[in-house]
Chains A and B, each alone.
Chain A
Amino acid sequence: MAIKDYIRERFFPHIWCPGCGHGTVMNSLLRAIESLGMSKNEIVMVSGIGCSSRISGYVDFHTLHTIHGRALAFATGVKLSRPELNLIVPMGDGDALAIGGNHFIHAARRNIDITAIVMNNRIYGMTGGQFSPLSGYGTMATTAPYSNIDHAFDTVELAIAAGATFVARSTSYHVKQLSKILRDAILHEGFSVVEVLSQCPTYFGRKNRLGSAVDMMEQYKNDTTPIGSKAKKENPDLIERGIFVQKEMPEYCVEYDKIIEKAMKGN
């Protein structure tokens, strides 16, 4: 199928701002799904609230647009009742790690087979540019007019520490890598976290004088490096991208089935 067969064309053009990275994340995700030859009926996309979460309206899978931060909780319910379906949960940085921080770490700890995508634009775009837990120290936001004193989470380290069995990072500039990582994440049996650095030229870019969407993507090109590269040793400020963790662990639904079997035997 062509990627346009996976979208709801009647809702296009989408509401995302000109140059928003979220559109590119959707583009890469659709290509990953197309390359896997998946049918629309075997995918469930569950999203929460925020700019990123609007994605569930645009893709023609089974979609649930749920409540802020709780997309993973809804997805857990869907997955447990229909384990044969593929769950994809795109979230924003605030949705995933502030409002939904607790759901995030516990979904990772359980290793339930869900693909979580953190579309990290470092700000709450939809509500007007408030700082998020990924904005970082020294950044500017509507709610931090004299600069932000909160330090940022490292999504990758947090996901690894919480027990996710597939953890990766890419950016909206590195589309070929992003598409491949998303493909691997979907295929992985267990909880996968993919952090995607995605530009918000409207709020984060403007508040922090980072220029246009194009300028912000140039920064992703220049400020990131493949995991373990020589460049990283020379410049520790570079952000690594690639697959950090990919390991086999018992998956939650499989384990739950075993419990059902045990209970049915009555011992």
Chain B
Amino acid sequence: MGKLKLKEHVITREWCKGCGICVHFCPKQVLELDDQDKVFAARREDCICCELCELRCPDLAIEIETEQGSE
């Protein structure tokens, strides 16, 4: 059993209001807001799957989907 690995940042764009809470509190600065003030994973390879964005999002607009790592 390897450790949890990121599969995808599942973002519901229509629900995101661009408050920037996830962007600011991400410990690895993975997230950014695009030109329409919607969140996207700008540096997905840096994500450590701590899920703090998902836990703090007031709009339930971001989810961290993980999978089991190979080792």
Contacts and interface: CB of A to CB of B under 8 A. Distances in A.
Interface in A208-264: 212-214, 217
Given A3-B60, A13-B14, A27-B60, A213 B19 contact: yes
A16 B58 contact: yes
Interface string A1-14: 00110010000111
Interface in A78-100: none
Chain B's interface size range is: 10 to 19
Main secondary structure of the interface of B (DSSP, over half): loop
B58 A13 contact: no
Interface string B23-35: 0110000000000
B56 A27 contact: yes
Contacts of B57: 23-24, 27
Main secondary structure of the interface of A (DSSP, over half): helix
B17 interface: yes
Interface in A1-49: 3-4, 7, 12-14, 16-24, 26-28, 31
B60 A4 contact: yes
9 contacts: A16-B58, A19-B20, A21-B58, A22-B58, A27-B55, A27-B60, A175-B56, A214-B19, A214-B24
Interface of A: 3-4, 7, 12-14, 16-24, 26-28, 31, 172-173, 175-176, 179, 212-214, 217
